[in-house]
Structure 1
Amino acid sequence: MLLILLIAGFAVIGGVTHASMAARLNAQLTEDLSNAAQRVIGQIKRQFSPNAPSDPTGQQQLGTLSALYLQGNTSFAPSYTDPKNPGRDSIALGASDTEQIERLASGATSSLTVDRRLEIGDYRVLVQPVTLTFGNGSVVQGVLVVGLPLDEVRRTLGTLDLSMMLVSLGGIVLIGTLGTVLISRALRPLARVSAVASAVAEQPLEKGEVDVAVRVAPEDAIPGTEVGNVGAALNSLLDNVDGALEVRARSEARMRRFAADASHELRTPLAAIQGYSELIGATEALSDDGDRSLGRVREQTRRMTELVENLLLLARLDEGRTPASEPVDLTRLAVDLSRDFTVAAKDHRWKLEFDAEHPVLVTGDEPQLNRVLQNLMSNARKHTSDGTTVTVGVGTTADGQALLTVTDNGEGIDPEFLDKVFDRFARADAARSGSLPTTGLGLSIVKAIVDSHGGRISVESEPGRTRFSVRLPLAP
């Protein structure tokens, strides 16, 4: 915008200057034309009256055109002085130029000034009726034609325009450079404030356990200026965010501690309930209703035990403990689990895709990685209809990572639920048609284990195809 204003300003100044100079040069040319006419008349009088006084206005300008028509006859044919040969006599005009001059002179009753393009160049021509009185007392009526070249005026205006253009361009460059430097210097504090905001925006605030220690420098957070007000407000906001994150972190830590403690404390009574139910079933003679009720107790105890174990595992993973570091053969894990599910879950078809000649090795905790694949396969079984084909794939990616996939050709996941599949206690019962009960923690555990191993898990789903992909660093 500043550049546009500068260009517009220089254009206006240049236009006004050009118009003013053009008016002045045209006025000067008109005056010179009048003087030239007087000199021509003086020269004519001296030719007929040698005693006539000399012309005080001096010599004619180079390139002056002149012609005189007395009482309708050509007394002095149109001619001009050649500016390229100052010492040469006047040169007669060509036929075309002579014809134009004669047309202007014919029938002239008053002074007329016009611009004409002649073969010898562009001229300003004065056509003026004159009355000549000679020394013998004779009076003659005639028409005087005098012209001066326009080249000098146009050359002067062209030089002026070029000079103003160069000056304007230099001024724009100079002012633009200085303006850029000054604006850049004035905006440096704002850039530093923006850098602080960008640094905070890149923090993983969703994890909660983040220390937002970055702040706007004191010199950029002094209230009273626009930048200072913004810096001070940003520092206040960051203080509030930092405090809120600390409160959230403490609350989540207490919740994790509570979940771990409660789960740990529940393991003993649940084990006792499971044991006593098994003992009653083995030693007591129960009715059919009693057997069914005792079976329900065992089933619910098993589910409760599974939930407690899952909560304990999540609590340990949330503590950020580094997993064990040992070579793990993903191909062997996939083979073993595929055999187990083929036997235990005959209501589904299980397929395995891998390269037997190239085992895929990663570094990590084998039981946890086994849990990852087991949960993904169990999830596919629970949430798809009988007869669904589940394919387990093991391989590597083009960028050198281990790739573990579990793909089924079931009904797919509801798009509205897809971004929540890894949330804790998220249940996809409305999205998938399986009927087996779930705790809603299986995929949360999978993601937590994969994250702790420096990997990444993703899901893509559409009707007829759902794929979970786990990428892990290959073992060195």
Structure 2
Amino acid sequence: MKLTGREKTELFLEGIVTVILLLLLNLSIIILINQSIMTNPGLRDGIFIIKRSILIGPNHYHLWSWENIFIVLMLIFDAAVVYWRLIRRYHQMQLRHIISELHYIANGHLDHRISFKLKGNTQSVVESINALVDSVIRSMNEERAIESSKDELITNVSHDLRTPLTSILGYLGLIQDKQYHSEADLLKYTEIAYLKAKQMKSLVDNLFEYTKVKQTGTPLSINKIDLNQMMEQLVASFELDARKSGLAISAKDTDRPLYIEADAEKLGRVFNNLISNAIKYGKGGQNIYLSAKIGKPGEAIINVSNDGPQIPPKSLNQIFERFYRVEESRNKDTGGSGLGLAIAQSIIDLHGGYINVTSDPDLTTFAIHVPIKHGDRLSQPNAKSRIG
């Protein structure tokens, strides 16, 4: 930290004034002591005896001049007082500079940081202030991101609800105005309105599930789960739907029983979302594969794979974002709520794990990494999805 010319003058004057005051104090003390000695013969004789009895060095010099010893001690004391006063004033100037920097930051210059280097506890104060400003900036950015995220959520929900709602109102309006030519038209309009209403309900249910699992305090009902048995149940549940889409679903058993501690209902929701997506977007492929294995110690990896179309590389890093869809249109037949993978990721995060996705022309694989024991957390080696 560089001192200004005015501050250097202040330090100089502080030192001069302190020296003058100390010299006056020292002179006063010496005069008072001399007067006391001169007016008290007994004290004077006692001091003389002490001088004769004190011998210094191997040659036994006598201590005759107490005034010189006293003056040396007073000079040492004076130097310490001057040093303390100057250091104290210098620290006050440092604090004044720090406060000035704080006012500058508070006036809207949030990208500014206190750059000068100090010594001792004052430097700790500077570092703490810079860290506090960084923390405030992060909090402000996070708050803005949350607000932006809320606005985006409202926009997406409004769009996805408005589209089927418009169709429902349109077809019900045709029915109310009797603008149909036959009973077949009436049934057709009713069926379309019903399907659109189911679509709206599915979106609302998914939105409710998403907001619920995003809460960090969401309770989990932990049970011991046999992954082999779970995969067999999933194959049985989705076999018919997969067959309708021209796909065969199968599970590969592990070499030995593999148990994990997890919430079976929520974990089932994850696999339902992933397998439903594999059926929905795997058209053109032939197979859906389920498999499980031990990863690192204390880690289980469950893969959901399909040999359908490759996910575009540009979409891999966004695929778990809410309302994101690989296809450009939000109104295609395959377009769901766009919340399925976001829900799956949030549920796995609640379990202390993570999901990776890889995709190449031959195979698309969602790899679910979960801890075998509840309460453990896995560290994701790469925060971004990897492209196979």
Q: TM-score range by the shorter chain?
A: 0.5 to 0.7
| Partner secondary structure for residue 292 of structure 2 | strand
Aligned equivalents of 2:272 and 2:312: distance in 1? Answer: 23
CA distance 1:454–1:293, change in 2 (3 Å):
same
Matched letter for residue 294 of structure 1? T
Matched letter for residue 314 of structure 1? Y
Identity of aligned residues (%): 25
Shift of 1:324: 1.6
| Partner secondary structure for residue 345 of structure 1 | helix
Aligned equivalents of 1:232 and 1:397: distance in 2? Answer: 44
| Partner secondary structure for residue 417 of structure 1 | helix
CA distance 1:237–1:464, change in 2 (3 Å):
same
Q: Is the 8 A contact 1:257 1:315 kept in 2?
A: no
CA distance 1:437–1:397, change in 2 (3 Å):
same
Q: Is the 8 A contact 1:334 1:373 kept in 2?
A: no
1:314 and 2:210 matched: yes
Tell me which residue corresponds to 1:350.
249
Tell me which residue corresponds to 1:453.
351
TM-score (norm 2): 0.52
CA distance 1:396–1:231, change in 2 (3 Å):
closer
1:219 is matched with which residue: 119, 122, 134? 122
**How well do the aligned residues superpose, as a CA RMSD in angstroms?**
3.6
Gaps of at least 5 residues in structure 2 are 1-119, 176-180, 375-388
Equivalent residue pairs, number: 232
Matched letter for residue 262 of structure 2? G
Tell me which residue corresponds to 2:50.
none
Larger % of helix: which? 2
| Partner secondary structure for residue 236 of structure 2 | helix
1:401 and 2:299 matched: yes
CA distance 1:236–1:289, change in 2 (3 Å):
same
Q: Is the 8 A contact 1:361 1:475 kept in 2?
A: no
Shift of 1:338: 0.9
State how 1:370-385 maps to structure 2 within 5 Å.
Answer: 370-385=268-283
Shift of 1:418: 0.7
CA distance 1:475–1:232, change in 2 (3 Å):
closer
Deviations 1:209-264 (A, max 9, x none): xxxxxxxx972277xxxxx5x87555434333334435655x489779989xx99x
Q: Relative contact order, CA 8 A, sep 6+: which one is greater?
A: 2
Tell me which residue corresponds to 1:238.
135
Q: Is the 8 A contact 2:287 2:307 kept in 1?
A: yes
State how 1:334-345 maps to structure 2 within 5 Å.
Answer: 334-345=231-242
Which one has the largest radius of gyration? 1
Q: Is the 8 A contact 1:327 1:475 kept in 2?
A: no
Aligned equivalents of 1:242 and 1:218: distance in 2? Answer: 27
Tell me which residue corresponds to 2:184.
288
Tell me which residue corresponds to 2:193.
297
CA distance 1:373–1:365, change in 2 (3 Å):
same
Shift of 1:358: 2.9
Tell me which residue corresponds to 1:6.
none
Aligned equivalents of 1:221 and 1:400: distance in 2? Answer: 41
Q: Is the 8 A contact 2:253 2:291 kept in 1?
A: yes
Shift of 1:396: 1.9
Tell me which residue corresponds to 1:41.
none
CA distance 1:312–1:446, change in 2 (3 Å):
same
Aligned equivalents of 2:303 and 2:253: distance in 1? Answer: 11
TM-score (norm 1): 0.43
Q: Is the 8 A contact 1:412 1:465 kept in 2?
A: yes
1:423 and 2:321 matched: yes
Tell me which residue corresponds to 2:286.
388
Matched letter for residue 122 of structure 2? E
Tell me which residue corresponds to 2:228.
331
CA distance 1:252–1:354, change in 2 (3 Å):
farther
Gaps of at least 5 residues in structure 1 are 1-216, 223-227
CA distance 1:315–1:218, change in 2 (3 Å):
farther
Q: Is the 8 A contact 1:424 1:440 kept in 2?
A: yes
CA distance 1:411–1:238, change in 2 (3 Å):
same
